Amino acid sequence: DIQMTQSPSSLSASVGDRVTITCRASESISNYLSWYQQEPGKAPKLLIYDASSVQSGVPSRFSGSGSGTDFTLTINGLQPEDFGTYYCQQSYSISWTFGQGTKVEVK
Amino acid sequence: EVQLVESGGGLVQPGGSLTLSCAASGFSFSSYWMHWVRQVPGKGLVWVSRIKSDGSTTNYADAVKGRFTISRDNAKNTVYLEMNSLRVEDTAVYYCVRRSAVAGTGDHWGQGTLVTVSS
């Protein structure tokens, strides 16, 4: 299976901050990379697909970049509703695999 | 509005069986691949299985192969996950996920149903 590694595992940030989360794949996945946000007790919500395409309805402060093995999720101007856990996911192979998650908390 | 509603979770003893259902609405169900993903409370997301739009192709994670069966009834807009020989390590919230028509990822998730395997 393709392994996905996120960093950092957690971070503390303030409203208005720029936040960057990285994700590395164990082998090239082209641009088959998605980012999800999960709030406690809720299902994951798709933010970014194909590495840099923003899902409909997702605020423009969210952006993604990268290809091959290295990817980045950026939140420009963190908002109160952005706190939660973020996961990257590859859909290059039949069996999706996810990063271990990055918990974004209030500083 | 796309809706996915899982049901069928609960408490079951090790070695037991359970069948999860996911009722879909708000989209052309028979045109979409469907997946199951699980999550141990407080832990990460793990892909379980997928089924093609017409039911002709299925795939499973190694951890559940031979024990779980995914199926669908396009007339009822429902996807199922039959789980047999359940183990303590199968305890998790199980999510039903629609695969996007434009990308290979999951664009809509159900609210999840909790399966607890314990004696």
Residues of chain A contacting B, Cβ within 8 Å: 32, 34, 36, 42-46, 49-50, 53, 55, 87, 89, 91-92, 94-101
Nearest to A94 by CA among B47, B77, B92, B83: B47
**Per-residue pLDDT tens over the stretch A40-88:** 999 999 999 999 999 999 999 999 999 999 999 999 999 999 999 999 9
Indicate if the pLDDT at residue A104 is higher than 90. Answer: yes
The SS3 of residue A14 is coil
The SS3 of residue A97 is strand
Placement of tokens 């159900």 in the chain: B110
Q: Which residues does chain A have within 8 Å of residue B37's beta carbon, measured at their own beta carbons?
A: 96
Q: What is the pLDDT of residue B108?
A: 97
By Cβ distance, the residue of A91, A98, A101 closest to B104 is: A91
Proportion of chain A above pLDDT 90, given as a percent: 98
The vertex-B43 CA angle with B37 and B45, nearest 5°, equals 25
Q: Which residues does chain B have within 8 Å of residue A97's beta carbon, measured at their own beta carbons?
A: 47
By Cβ distance, the residue of B46, B50, B106 closest to A46 is: B106
By Cβ distance, the residue of B61, B107, B111 closest to A95 is: B61
CB contact under 8 A, A101 and B112: no
- Minimal CA separation from B103 to chain A, in Å: 7
Determine the Cα–Cα distance for residues B49 and B65; give it in Å rounded to an integer: 9
SS3 labels along B20-57 = EEEEEECCCHHHCCEEEEEECCCCCEEEEEEECCCCCC
Write the Ramachandran bin of A61: left for phi over 0, alpha for psi from -120 to 50, otherwise beta.
alpha
CB contact under 8 A, A100 and B44: yes
Nearest to B30 by CA among B1, B57, B52, B59: B52
Determine the Cα–Cα distance for residues B117 and A93; give it in Å rounded to an integer: 29
Residues contacting residue B104 through CB under 8 Å, at least 6 positions apart = A32, A91, A92
Determine the Cα–Cα distance for residues B45 and A100; give it in Å rounded to an integer: 8
Q: Which residue of A has its CA nearest to B98?
A: A46
CB contact under 8 A, B103 and A91: yes
Phi, psi of A23 (to 5 degrees): -140, 130
Residues of chain B contacting A, Cβ within 8 Å: 35, 37, 44-47, 50, 59, 61, 95, 100, 102-112
Query: Tens of pLDDT along chain B (119 residues)?
Result: 999 999 999 999 999 999 999 999 999 999 999 999 999 999 999 999 999 999 999 999 999 999 999 999 999 999 999 999 999 999 999 999 999 998 889 999 999 999 999 99
